[in-house]
C-alpha cells in the first residue's frame, strides 16, 4: 500500500519529472532543427568564433557540423528520457548534456554578436539572451544526472545506494 506523499514531496516529484522530460524535449527538438538550413546559418557566428568548434567547422563544413551536433543532441535527449528503464544510460545522457551546455555557454565569451555595443553596461543581444538560458539547462542536466545515478543505485564513486523499493521514475 502506498502512503500519501506530503505536498512538498509531490511538488518535488512533479517538478523533477517536468524538468527531465522538458530537458529531453528541448534536446530532441532543437537537435531536429539542426537539420534545417536556417538553423545552420543561425549557428554560424557561434561555431566560427569559438575555439571549441572553429576547427571542426573548417574541417567538416557548416552543414556536417550541424548534423553532428543534431545527432548528438537527439541522442542525449533520448538518453535523458530513458531513466525509468536505463538509469545509467540516462545519467550518461544528462552528463553529456551538461558538457554541451558548458560549451554553448562559452559562446557568450567568444561570439561578438552575443553582445550589443555602445550601451555602457554590457547588454546581451537576442543571441546572447538565447545562450543565457543554457545556464538553466546546465543546472537541469546536473540534477537529472544525479537523479539517474541515484536511481541506478550509485550514491558516490564506488558505492551503491541501499534499495528504496520506490519506482525509479519518481525517485
What's the average pLDDT block by block, 10 residues per block, for the chain (171 residues)? 68 94 98 95 93 94 97 98 97 98 94 81 85 96 97 76 46 43
Could you tell me the three cell numbers for 5? 506523499
Q: What residue segments make up the domains of the chain, in order of their start?
A: 15-153
CA distance 63 to 42: 12
H-run or E-run covering 123: strand 123-124
pLDDT of residue 113: 87
Return the SS3 of 129: helix
Please provide the size of the chain in residues: 171
Instruction: Please report the pLDDT score of residue 16 as a whole number.
Output: 95
Three-state DSSP at 53 gives coil
Name 114's Cβ contacts closer than 8 Å, sequence gap at least 6: 107, 108, 124, 125, 127, 128, 131
CB contact at 8 A, 107 and 46: yes
pTM: predicted TM-score of the whole model, two decimal places: 0.83
Q: Specify the pLDDT at position 112.
A: 86
Q: Are 111 and 46 in contact (CB under 8 A)?
A: yes
Amino acid at each position: 500500500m502506498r502512503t500519501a506523499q506530503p505536498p512538498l514531496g509531490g511538488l518535488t516529484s512533479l517538478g523533477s519529472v517536468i524538468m527531465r522530460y522538458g530537458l529531453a524535449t528541448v534536446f530532441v527538438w532543437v537537435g531536429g532543427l539542426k537539420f534545417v538550413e536556417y538553423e545552420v546559418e543561425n549557428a554560424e557566428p557561434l561555431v566560427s568564433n569559438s575555439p571549441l568548434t572553429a576547427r571542426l567547422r573548417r574541417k567538416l563544413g557548416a552543414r556536417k557540423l550541424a548534423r553532428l551536433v543534431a545527432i548528438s543532441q537527439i541522442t542525449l535527449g533520448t538518453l535523458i528520457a530513458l531513466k525509468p528503464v536505463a538509469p545509467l544510460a540516462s545519467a550518461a545522457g544528462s552528463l553529456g548534456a551538461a558538457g554541451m551546455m558548458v560549451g554553448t555557454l562559452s559562446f557568450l565569451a567568444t561570439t561578438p554578436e552575443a553582445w550589443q555595443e555602445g550601451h555602457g553596461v554590457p547588454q546581451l543581444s537576442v543571441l546572447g539572451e538565447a545562450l543565457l538560458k543554457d545556464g538553466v539547462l546546465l543546472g537541469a542536466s546536473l540534477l537529472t544526472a544525479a537523479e539517474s545515478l541515484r536511481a541506478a543505485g550509485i550514491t558516490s564513486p564506488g558505492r551503491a545506494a541501499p534499495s528504496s523499493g520506490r519506482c525509479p521514475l519518481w525517485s
